[in-house]
Amino acid sequence: MTSFRMKLLKPGCSPAVRLPVSSLPSGSKWSPVDGTWVTIYGSRHGYVGAHPVRAFLHYANVVGGSIMNLGQATMVIVAMALLGFLALSANSSVMESTDISDSSEFGVTSVSLATSLIQEAMAKDFDQTVSTSGNVSDSTTFTPAASLGRDGVEKYRDPVHDFNDFDDFNNLFLVFTSPLDPSPEAGADSTLIVPGIRARYIVHTKVEYVLGDNLNAAWASPTWNKRIIVSVTRPVSKDTIRVPAVMSYWN
């Protein structure tokens, strides 16, 4: 009788030893050797191996008293490797698609929040001087550049002391958040709940004077133009979106 043998790990370590005896070829038997290895004897396909994974594949595929040959086992291993590669590729594609969707949502929401805040600021008077004195013909009477910001007890969207001019929005710190995360942000001037958004958005503003022929650089003295820059970010993102806008006074 032509015999084959395959060395496997001792019974407590190898998955192959959990196979029922009935699944082995006729005439096979277990024979422990020095308490460490188990030698299995059969009647077909002489084979000697010591790799536990190959041994498991060899004996786990016993069908009708025959065992997979080396070529078949290799094909199974290649198929499993290919399946793993395809699964990894699919998972990477899903993650990439999720990242793109998240970035798009962040961009659209940030621009919407910034634009809304700019429109709110644009609806106010150009300067406190305009609010109190009406028509202004001399730009030097506007609020000094170093003093741009809210006056006295003014607070953002306060029922009594709301902002009344454009530069009150200088150094404003707002938080727009989901109804699922309504907790106030430490140091924020206001935390606003916005239905429909799925993250917390941090908004900072800066208001400064600029010249009509150079809107990209701040000017240290009053002019007829003020620029606001709204910066929006998220705690979970390193990206920041900045939206600028200029308000001019015409007398």
Distance of CA 231 to the CA centre of its chain: 19
Residue 237's pLDDT is what?
A: 79
Residue 51's pLDDT is what?
A: 37
Question: 212 φ, ψ to 5°?
Answer: -65, -30
Distance of CA 140 to the CA centre of its chain: 48
Residues of the chain with pLDDT > 90: what percent?
48
| Residue 40 burial (C-beta neighbours within 10 Å; 0-12, 13-18, 19+) | buried
Q: Yes or no: say if 203 and 173 are a contact pair by the CB < 8 Å rule.
A: yes
Q: Which residue has the higher pLDDT, 162 or 63?
A: 162
The segment with the largest mean pLDDT, out of 39-43, 216-220, 234-238, is 216-220
Residue 90's pLDDT is what?
A: 66
Closest by alpha carbon to 245, among 109, 146, 111, 103?
A: 111
Q: What angle do CA 19, 22, 27 make, to 5 degrees?
A: 110
Q: Enter the pTM of the model.
A: 0.62
The answer on pLDDT for 180 being more than 60 is yes
The answer on pLDDT for 175 being more than 70 is yes
What is the chain's length? 251
Residue 34's pLDDT is what?
A: 39
Q: What is the mean pLDDT of the segment spanning 109-128?
A: 96
38 bridge partner residues: 8, 32
Please write the tens of the pLDDT for every residue from 48-57.
333 343 344 3
| Residue 147 burial (C-beta neighbours within 10 Å; 0-12, 13-18, 19+) | exposed
The answer on pLDDT for 187 being more than 80 is yes
Secondary structure of 131-178 in the HEC alphabet? Answer: HHHCCCCCHHHCCCHHHCCCCCCCCCCCCCCCCCEHHHHCCCEEEEEC
Residue 84's pLDDT is what?
A: 77
Please write the tens of the pLDDT for every residue from 83-108.
777 777 766 666 655 566 667 888 89
Residue 35's pLDDT is what?
A: 36
